[in-house]
Structure 1
Amino acid sequence: MCQSVAFQLVVRLLLRCLLACACWTGLPAVAAAPDSSISASQPKGSLVIIGGALRGDNAAVWERMVQLAGGKGARIAVFASASASPDKTGQALVERFRHYGAQAFFVPVAPRLAGTDYQAAAEDPALAAAVRAAGGAFFSGGDQARITRALRRPDGSNTRILDALWELYRGGGMIGGTSAGAAIMSSTMFGHPKPVLATLKLGLGEGGEIAPGLGFIGDEVFIDQHLLVRGRFARMLPAMLKKGYQLGLGIDENTAMVVAPNREVEVIGYRGALLVDLSKAVAQDGPLELSNVRLSYLDNGDRFHLRTHAFTPAPDKRDNRIDPARPYYREPLFSADILGHSTVVELMSRLIDSDQPEAIGLSLDSPHAVQPELGFEFRLSRSPDSVGYQSALTEQYSVYKLRLDIRPIVVQHPLYQYWRLDAVAGGGRVGAAR
């Protein structure tokens, strides 16, 4: 106990020194430039939402966070609240931000941080003042439920630290997060849901599977992460339907969505993001059955405006719009595993540059899974407002507003039979199934 108290006293003393230094030296200006499209009540800061697995050498993302926090020398508060080893994770993140020119500092508000009382730390006035005075804040990956547990009181109200984060963001600061740190950006987040296919079959429950997030992006957009690598785009749909979202953004690993104060989203990094639009979708009861979803893939450098829904391709794509009269792909488009690594984007890219009317993907489960006979068909097709672009440099596609229809299907088990090929005199014959 004495060691814990001593540790907290040292932390408080250091934070008071940091805050005093920040106030004496003056922080880089972080307020956004005036914009007539920004209302007085809207936050003036920016969000950097990363899909997880952010590499230390992804300079585009790290440098953008430092820039939005005020540039070289900007103070960035690092939260490792979600981590199982917050001391190690926090120190690694502090060092990485310092590598890119920021004056980062660790915020000791984490349920798994040994020797501290995270609830007391979340109410510490000096710690809250240091966060409020920073140019930005960053949340690590891990378990997003630990973040909300650390920053909200048992009755659901904001701790002093969470209030300080909101003041930082409303005043023009940057808030970034990766993986779990991305999940908390929307007002609803995944907690500990079932696997994707089980979620499509059985739906989602409150509390454990979906839970309240911190809502920095607002109440109208749902966020998910690790999207393409883990085939998670499909699980967004039942979550959005359950909570009434019409718009969802799912970001892939080592990639970020930068949300500007004017509500324009820019994708930067290794891959891209999926935009899910349910504004005209029609859902049926029971296992997921959904028609007229609009699905878009935003690649590196693409922009999408959350308010106007305007889509702007990256500069290397703007003069290379796909011509439907000159398709590149001419074979049928099919996948037996639509939830595979980046499979949905591969089908979307081929369809937008194809003579085929549709692309079909299936999702089937193990014979030992819940309801093994139940699978799903995902049917992608072009609509009148579908459009695609291809980069002249990387040959990567951006695809806007394909139609997606999903229906449950019955799967016959076993899916295959073994056949024996017997050699006989003068040739061979196919033996009976076994």
Structure 2
Amino acid sequence: MGRRGGMGKTLVALAVLCLPAFPAHPALPALSADPVVKGPERGALVIVGGGRVGPEILTRFFDLAGGRDAPLVVIPTANGADTFPDDWSGLKMFKDFGVTTITLLHTTDRKIADSEEFVRPITTARAVWFPGGRQWRLVDSYLHTRTQREIERVLERGGVVGGSSAGASILASYMVRGARENNDIMMAPGYEEGFGLIKGVAIDQHMLTRNRQDDLEEVVAKHPDVLGIGLDESTAIVVRGQQFEVTGASKVAIHDGRIVKGAQERHGKKYFFMAPGERYDLTKLERIGKANRSEQP
């Protein structure tokens, strides 16, 4: 493990070079017939649909963390590189934003991910961030390891966990586009379970930019107890308890497989869009209007 400090930054890089060809994962738990959609009981999630992460999103993320001096852990494993130097380009947006304490964690060895030494920076973190890439790499390295458990504890301490693109999809309980072959397969056997920081949900990204707005329909058709959330680029949902708010530059699509009949279906619409500022109730599964700015952290 290497540690470097300078100019108020603390960066840690951990890496191994080998990736097991066929790692074993526990079977995906059966999806309940009784719908349970649940946000974190404590802390918050900031989930971004890829593309540029603008200052509005970063401001919300670090406000929830406790400020730009809050200890941040960045886990870039989805990117696919063997190692990540202290000056890795993916850290630039945080440095430019004035973040003072950054720890970079990476491994492709599940034994290392399950070790006390590797997770130590997470135990004192107020924020964790997953950049983009391919989400199966995060599954192979971290699912059901001590790393995942310590990330959950960041939320339990009232911190914030976020991610963009692949780093967004991994945060849900049902993970889409997990196939090793390509990212066009929505439901890939063996790679359908995410970290479950928001439960009963599947999260897609790059929605309108890549014309993916219909893609979650096959997921909610097969698993009607899963709420599908499609995020466009430079757009996020901020999840606190049983509500989320849309923020950023574009739209979010809500795919609810529980809607068999009703206004949406009668008008030929299987999903609806939400705009920045609008909120959604994860208990009632309905839009609840725009947030009062005084309610935000």
Whether these two folds match at TM > 0.5 is yes
User: 1:244 is matched with which residue: 207, 217, 224?
Assistant: 224
Q: Are the aligned partners of 2:224 and 2:257 in contact in 1 as well (CA < 8 Å)?
A: no
The 5-angstrom pairing of residues 408-423 of structure 1 reads: none
Structure 1 residues 314 and 90 mapped into 2: Cα distance closer, same or farther (>3 Å)?
Answer: farther
Q: CA deviation at 1:314?
A: 6.3
Higher Cα radius of gyration: 1
Q: What is residue 225 of structure 1 aligned with on the other side?
A: 205
Q: CA deviation at 1:164?
A: 0.6
Q: What is residue 99 of structure 1 aligned with on the other side?
A: 96
Which amino acid letter does the alignment assign opposite residue 280 of structure 2? Answer: F
Q: What's the secondary structure of 1:276's corresponding residue?
A: strand
User: 1:277 is matched with which residue: 247, 256, 266?
Assistant: 256
For the pair 1:216 / 2:202, whether they are aligned, the reply is: no
Q: Which 4+ residue blocks in structure 1 deviate beyond 4 angstroms?
A: 193-196, 289-294
Q: What is residue 276 of structure 2 aligned with on the other side?
A: 300
Structure 1 residues 123 and 307 mapped into 2: Cα distance closer, same or farther (>3 Å)?
Answer: same
Q: Are the aligned partners of 2:277 and 2:290 in contact in 1 as well (CA < 8 Å)?
A: yes
Structure 1 residues 42 and 186 mapped into 2: Cα distance closer, same or farther (>3 Å)?
Answer: closer
Name stretches of at least 5 consecutive residues in structure 1 with no aligned partner.
1-7, 13-17, 19-40, 112-117, 153-157, 283-288, 317-434
Q: Are the aligned partners of 2:69 and 2:100 in contact in 1 as well (CA < 8 Å)?
A: yes
Ranked by relative contact order (alpha carbons within 8 Å, sequence separation 6 or more), the top structure is 2
Q: What is residue 72 of structure 1 aligned with on the other side?
A: 68
Structure 1 residues 195 and 96 mapped into 2: Cα distance closer, same or farther (>3 Å)?
Answer: closer
Q: Deviations over 1:139-187 (max 9, x none)?
A: 01001000111103xxxxx212111101111221100000000011211
Q: Are the aligned partners of 2:174 and 2:192 in contact in 1 as well (CA < 8 Å)?
A: yes
Which amino acid letter does the alignment assign opposite residue 102 of structure 2? Answer: F
Q: CA deviation at 1:242?
A: 2.0
Query: 1:290 & 1:205 partners in 2: Cα distance?
Result: 27
Structure 1 residues 244 and 280 mapped into 2: Cα distance closer, same or farther (>3 Å)?
Answer: closer
Which amino acid letter does the alignment assign opposite residue 101 of structure 1? Answer: G
Query: 2:62 & 2:243 partners in 1: Cα distance?
Result: 19
Query: 2:79 & 2:259 partners in 1: Cα distance?
Result: 39
Structure 1 residues 268 and 313 mapped into 2: Cα distance closer, same or farther (>3 Å)?
Answer: same
For the pair 1:312 / 2:292, whether they are aligned, the reply is: no
User: 1:60 is matched with which residue: 35, 52, 56?
Assistant: 56
Q: Deviations over 1:328-348 (max 9, x none)?
A: xxxxxxxxxxxxxxxxxxxxx
Q: Are the aligned partners of 2:223 and 2:257 in contact in 1 as well (CA < 8 Å)?
A: no
Q: CA deviation at 1:291?
A: 9.3
Structure 1 residues 107 and 194 mapped into 2: Cα distance closer, same or farther (>3 Å)?
Answer: closer
The 5-angstrom pairing of residues 14-413 of structure 1 reads: 43-55=41-53, 58-85=54-81, 87=84, 91-111=88-108, 118-152=109-143, 158-190=144-176, 191-192=178-179, 206-207=188-189, 211-218=192-199, 220-261=200-241, 263-281=242-260, 294-308=270-284, 309-313=286-290
Identity of aligned residues (%): 27
Query: 2:117 & 2:227 partners in 1: Cα distance?
Result: 38
Number of corresponding residues: 255
Q: CA deviation at 1:246?
A: 4.5
Query: 1:141 & 1:305 partners in 2: Cα distance?
Result: 27
Q: Are the aligned partners of 2:243 and 2:280 in contact in 1 as well (CA < 8 Å)?
A: yes
Q: What's the secondary structure of 1:87's corresponding residue?
A: coil
Q: Are the aligned partners of 2:232 and 2:251 in contact in 1 as well (CA < 8 Å)?
A: yes
TM-score (norm 1): 0.53
Q: CA deviation at 1:303?
A: 1.2
Query: 1:123 & 1:205 partners in 2: Cα distance?
Result: 27
Query: 1:120 & 1:255 partners in 2: Cα distance?
Result: 35
Q: CA deviation at 1:243?
A: 2.9
Q: Are the aligned partners of 1:303 and 1:313 in contact in 2 as well (CA < 8 Å)?
A: yes
Q: CA RMSD in A?
A: 3.2
Query: 1:93 & 1:87 partners in 2: Cα distance?
Result: 9
Q: CA deviation at 1:54?
A: 2.1
